[in-house]
Copies of this chain bind each other. A is one copy, B any other.
Amino acid sequence: MVKVGILGASGYTGLELIRILLNHPLVEISAVTSEKYSGIKVGDSFPFLKGYLDLKYEALSPKEISKKCDFIFSALPHKASMAVVPPLLKSNKKVIDLSADYRLKSPIVYKEWYKEEHTSPELLSPAVYGLPEIKRGKIKTASLTANPGCYPTGVILALAPLIKGNFIDKDSIIVDSKSGVTGAGRKVEEGFLFAECNENFKAYSLASHRHTPEIEQEISEIAERDIKITFTPHLLPVNRGILSTIYSNMASDTFLKHKGTSLTSDDILKVYENFYKGERFVRILGAGKSPQIHNVLGSNHCDIGFQIDKRNRRIIVVSAIDNLVKGASGQAVQNMNIMLGFEEHTGLERAGIVP
């Protein structure tokens, strides 16, 4: 049994890590940290876990964590994470960071979007962006895996096959995403009160959301050229789930003919099915079918559907994930499985809860 620790284990993603790891046959949770709940038993702090984990929250230094754990998840917020990750790595522990601190390769871009100076820029290059379906090989040998953001996970998985195959105009990508409220963490702010979110819906961070450069970095790498996208997040009155509707213009007829394809619905279906062949957690729905958030709730799946808009020569791709599972803690466990040489889906083969 590998001993794992969870830093920031009283937030939504930290608790979700506990929930998932409790059912993992090859690891045991040996430390959970929280300043707020330090000294209190996990089950007394969060009664849904009563009877499942006989541990108290602790306020531990990186050194103490390293003594207790062989593998560490940091579910701390960005900035807090980069304060503890370097010493953990120095004590030769493998780390998965669920914050944004090690996702962007450029410290300049980091500063531009997060308004913070990066304090360990030397780790940005060795850190691996932990989207297994795209970067499995590098994750295997990584010491530090930067777990992807919730929005980027569903968006990159939806776009990768089309970009890789040059089927779309890469300058035409527009991403319209809608996220459940837990996407913001457990922030005690007026805007996240029940009566402010319930029966409400709005866009936010118009043309300025921090996940924009993260998506662009990863799809640019796939395209082997710079891509800029328009990205608009919205706040859905549900607890969990992200649905992204992604628009792009189809590549020109000339180009497609040259490639010997006309890009019918069947063609696109094959493109997706081939790209994700053997992937346990990506499910391709048929043409014209939209994924639904409730089909992935509680599960590590990313469901993808699409439709051709013939009248406008556009492709509409829709993806759905649970932001706390495939968009955070489930994907983190998937990455851990890869990093530790376990079967990748260990502890994660669970259908969603419907309804």
Contact = CB atoms under 8 A, between A and B. Distances in A.
Contacts of A12: 195, 355
Contact of A312 (B180, B228, B293, B305): B228
Contact of A198 (B239, B280, B314): B239
A247 B200 contact: no
A207 interface: yes
Interface in A48-104: 48-52
Contacts of A305: 206
B232 A316 contact: yes
Contacts of A142: none
Contacts of A275: none
Nearest to A282: B51
Interface string A296-336: 11110101010111111010101010000000000000000
Interface residues of A, number: 88
B207 A308 contact: yes
Interface stretch (A124-132, A154-162, A186-194, A254-262): A186-194
Nearest to A185: B195
A353 B298 contact: yes
B194 A299 contact: no
A15 interface: yes
A48 B199 contact: no
